[in-house]
Chains A and B, each alone.
Chain A
Amino acid sequence: NAGVTQTPKFRILKIGQSMTLQCAQDMNHNYMYWYRQDPGMGLKLIYYSVGAGITDKGEVPNGYNVSRSTTEDFPLRLELAAPSQTSVYFCASTPEEYYGYTFGSGTRLTVV
């Protein structure tokens, strides 16, 4: 049982480039989330999804986009990368709101 799988684990982007962070879960969880973690700031919610075809903005959505065409996959798209998007990105999922999240192993992104 793989849980939540994130790819890539590391990436360096140049300013203005675009990329997609992949997230897949094999637990049939309805709820999926993208967080970013900055030093000393905890985790901030970027986008979330309560099921296939349904997405909504979190606390810090600017500069990002998501889609949820299947229950399993929840990719995060960065358009026109900026240095402020240098961070560690986590994808997470949960079957119901009263459970804790299962997290992926994270993607460390550096924009130079």
Chain B
Amino acid sequence: AQTVTQSQPEMSVQEAETVTLSCTYDTSESDYYLFWYKQPPSRQMILVIRQEAYKQQNATENRFSVNFQKAAKSFSLKISDSQLGDAAMYFCAYRRAGANSKLTFGKGITLSVRP
């Protein structure tokens, strides 16, 4: 079974600084997808970024980028120029390619942003 591990329960960053959230996963598959979701206090789950395992290039979405290390099974999220609105819980998630696959989530990390 696939597992997703987020070992840091909490992190803090100064506004305008950069922070990296860690995620590792365990799978025997070679083709899969990885995601980062943001959950602000409103509780809404928001897709931040997505990475396809067969693509070597790291995904980027504005201030959010990932460091995808397939051999190490590592998928970290870097937030640049942190803003107060980035304060939220962040979940890493994995989904194998193919029919009937489902997202498996990590336990999440709570990010606070200091003004």
Interface residues of A in 34-54 (CB under 8 A from B): 35, 40-43, 45, 48, 50
B47 to chain A, nearest CB (A): 4
**Is B28 an interface position by the 8 A CB rule?**
no
Known: A40-B9, A41-B107, A42-B106. A97 touches B98 (CB 8 A): yes
A45 to chain B, nearest CB (A): 6
Q: Which residue of B lies closest to A48 (CB)?
A: B102
Which residues of chain A are within 8 angstroms of B107 by Cβ–Cβ distance?
40-42
Asked if B91 and A43 sit within 8 Å, CB to CB, the answer is yes
User: What 1/0 mask marks residues of chain B from 20 to 64 whose CB sits below 8 Å from any chain A CB?
Assistant: 000000000000010101000011111100101000000000000
Give the complex CA separation of A52 and B1 in angstroms. 27
Which residues of chain A are within 8 angstroms of B42 by Cβ–Cβ distance?
105
Total A-B Cβ pairs within 8 A: 57
B: residues with CB less than 8 A from A are: 4, 9, 33, 35, 37, 42-47, 50, 52, 91, 95, 97-108
Asked if B43 and A88 sit within 8 Å, CB to CB, the answer is yes
Q: Which residue of A lies closest to B98 (CB)?
A: A97
Asked if B108 and A50 sit within 8 Å, CB to CB, the answer is no
Give the complex CA separation of A66 and B91 in angstroms. 26
Q: Which residue of A lies closest to B36 (CB)?
A: A100
Which residues of chain A are within 8 angstroms of B101 by Cβ–Cβ distance?
97
